[in-house]
Structure 1
Amino acid sequence: MSASHSIQGKEAPYYYVPNDSAHPVRASFALLVVMLGASAWVNGIDPAKWAVYAGLVGLIVVLYHWFGDAIHEEETGLNSKRIDVSYRWSMSWFIFSEVMFFAAFFGALWYTRSVTTPWLGDLDHKQLLWPTFVAVWPNTGPAGVVEVFQTMGPFWLPTINTALLLTSGVTLTISHHALREDHRGKAKFWLFATILLGFIFVACQGYEYYHAYHALNLKFSSGAYGSLFFLLTGFHGFHVLLGATMLAVILVRLMKGHFTADNHFGFEGAAWYWHFVDVVWLGLYLFVYWF
């Protein structure tokens, strides 16, 4: 492909095909090391944890170079509008897969609380399966199996975290509109505010877990309630951390002069992800902490 052809950038009629890359193979190998190390670690082979750490570091290095290549292609004008559309569809399907991921856990919460608990409380089933069962949620199970614990209410940390995430959605929208209007200084400021709010959220959630464990005796082993509470909130917290990291990369790119008012899908893709994280938290706040 000629250089003159490639510099047409977004108006070019072609679909840029990059050269062969070793990044997918390297990433697959790093993930294989992580999985094998984790399997050995959970089976009592303690030194295997170093394989997990090494695999994760290797994966981060591969992703750094992989995304670096994609950014270089974008900034040197190799990508056409067809590539832009491809990126948008890819991000859309990725977010859809995340929707299904969380839907599975929300479904497990609903099924356990609204279907199996009343079913086990039915008189006929009690006599057959669990004579002493009381159909209340949350449930501590058979006597002595699950330690007594307290549930996590909405006040005050979860409510504070809700305010933090909702505010971050507003600041990110302000930053996006500023970029579209080519006010780069304003865009950077509000994007930094969004990232800061995200990391404050993660810190508050860490303190919430500390409080749950030490003050409420709420653990991952606290029956179905404890398992679903930590799975839902923990995976969401990981997504907040990932989203804040993505936005931090976008901020660095902004500071380097990347993106224009008309061409900034990297920013938009990260913003889509962040707003998705906000919406998931609203569901968590209502169905885990209130109902």
Structure 2
Amino acid sequence: MMSIKRPISTLIPRQYCRFWRLSLALLVMLAHAHQVQAEPAKSASFLYQLSPNELAQEFINIQVGKQKIHALYKANKGKQALGAVILLHDAFAHINDDPIISGLRTYLPNHGWASLSLETPFTTYEALPLTQNELSAEIKTRANEAIQFLREQGFQQIAIIGEGLGATLASHVAANVTDGSILTVVCINSVQHPLLSAEIHPNEILARLEIPVLDLQISTTPLGASYTNNQLRHHTIKAGNPKYTWIHLPANNLHGGATPIKLRIRGWLQRQSSQLPLAP
């Protein structure tokens, strides 16, 4: 006699199937809640990783209202103090795990530029995202405190460098600093994010800026059709800001000493600087 295999779902009473589905959904919700509650603990874990190594000497807290924002400050080690740079990492990274930002953080101080790698609102350990208005206000406040810190160190020429979402935030910060302390902005693969309001759109901000802007596209793929799109973007922004420059660089060799990205940014900073000693 031939037996007929029936799906297992037909062998289980419907009420039990519904119970299991609800239980599974509850487990998923609990797991997500645990992850959200555990996110702030990653901040403490990051501090613990810093404590036994040389980064601990560079770690500082910048007071922003009632909260302390993490940053890594590396003083100038060059023969001449040209200025300082504020570094803004990409989304879901932190102040030292981004290969481009962390590389610039250690490279530029050897050539006259002190570096301050600042924690942005988009990190791996800030659990809940901010609203559009909250994000705009938060990044402005953090950047203003970072600028004030660098001024207290004696720096008058300050550049802002950002990657990814950090690049968009960098241009947004520069657009809101009107005292002339921002020397230049360097954007690396700037992107638009759904959480960012319309006022924080990289193309529009860069076109409005009245300071030199270096817009770098780092890519592992050939330019192809994207080159035409970026050239159009370049001409559109440059029409509003004659001091805007767009450059494409290959994404090979991101690690190591004098990489093409580091050399390009270092050269750009030196050209924009008055090359006067501004800090002891």
Is the TM value for this pair above 0.5? no
Higher strand share: 2
Higher helix proportion: 1
Tell me the TM-score normalised to structure 2 length: 0.24
User: TM-score, normalised on structure 1?
Assistant: 0.23
